[in-house]
Structure 1
């Protein structure tokens, strides 16, 4: 879950959650600073090492006045193990034993068994540095290693290993690498949300795509549409795109005044009002904010709207394919507000007159004519 939801469940503020996750720096009155590391998930490497729960028990029993031998007997450990744990991992300044700080000190002392491959192998590191100077991407470098060193299986690294080295500020790879070796210019990894962390911001929550009727998936019945927006220069203009799943029939929405939720709602109501009743059954959209008034569209047209899972545009693949075809007519970076409704109608007519292999080389217009002899 995201930071806000996790903090709400735990009962702490968002800022506290951020500090727990990423650590913080505190300025002391004398001008010095103290680093607080982020809270790390407890991972039990081996039963030979003390676990987080055992360290909490040690702190509790110490506070209760129990002896080291008593704590060892209760935990099933050797008294010398408990004694070494308290001596090594107590706070050097106060001498007090804090279980979570003790666990962090133990992890900090546990060094890697060997250096990373890029740090240990100078020949491999030099080759990667040379390729970075040639403006190669880490994936291109990784793919070129088998050809450059065909008889040396040890001279292999995956692209993620190179990325991790580039994002480490003191790695040996950076000593002879370009200042900003990646094409993106980033010097640290960009945080991204997982698909299950993305949430909608609709006032009225929509229906999930999993609740669509079964007839939508097999394209056996016409009248089920997929929709999206094609954005123009600086995302300031847009064209609404609609495609019917069974016939692949295309409709383009003219949005001359903008593409906020109200404007998209009105354009959809106008488009669906011109369709025959049996040809307007459902609409599937992504999680874009332009559908924030989907409930008002449904109330006006009786057409339910279903939404894809966050970060899953492939669930409305026909529309994604249509948007790719439209880039032939409206290249990226184009100001889409310069096109009028008549021009959009001509583009849609041309797409509907284009043979489609999925329709047996017939056109969407011909396929539609078989189903609805007299379309409006």
Structure 2
């Protein structure tokens, strides 16, 4: 009989020794292909997916709501036509509720899985267990708690009656001040290039399975910016004194995040020395922190270049403002599909219109074009980036 492939919990970060199984993304016994996401687990920093190492039928070994240690078997992939186990039978584990006194009660009796961050937030905001159960979800996360929190604890947008002025939220007020200063002080120029991203999209899929984390164009672009630091140091210059800009050490890439009340720009530090896996892990952490309003000052400090994201469908290109103190900012809009002719035959091609807004006091058009061309080259031939996972 062919043996089943064991799926073990990988080490997703250096600090955690165990994780919480949040939810199964496939049914017990369901057919899966190699690379399919099997299960979502919660680390101390993020929610990660574990993928199937091969094709077959996925047999759950750990229940939703349980903890699993690094290296523990969470599932088995049974090749088609093979028995689930030596006895030819398979009993899926019963789901449990995190924090319950007993961890072996069936889900029907115990209710939904409530993650530890969600449980703490519910206590903080005064959300009852009954209100969480009423959501009818199998897994309750912190965002679900916020959705049912008392109105006083939820973010609100003030709407003034009859056109009366209102005070901007603190985050948006900070954005407004930065935008005004940028327009007033920085003589900015802008370039845009069309970049084919078919190879980058394909490479992202391969890298995602290798590093066990989310990898997409954002992650590849952050890593590519780091790789350009050595050849284009002035793109990473500080302009606090415009008459004497200084080249800053390292590539510390700020990435724009919409936190609901304005933009935040958390930083991926040392992208020039990072692997793709490290960049992916950092961005996963930053996304989770921004969703939970846990972006501290040290995470938002120190960028010497910015990647401005505009991923909404239909956005062809975006011209961002150059942040005061930086020499340039790269814009990454949504992927577009277009039809091109190759050897007389139509073919679909995915592209993005990569932009570069730059301080003309520090960079000239030729230097800016060379920098953007280098970035395009890395994204159109991303093998070196993926090999560096």
TM-score by length of structure 2 reads 0.24
**Larger fraction in strand:** 2
Considering Cα pairs closer than 8 Å and 6+ residues apart, tell me whether 1 or 2 has the greater RCO.
Answer: 2
* Structure possessing the higher radius of gyration over alpha carbons: 1
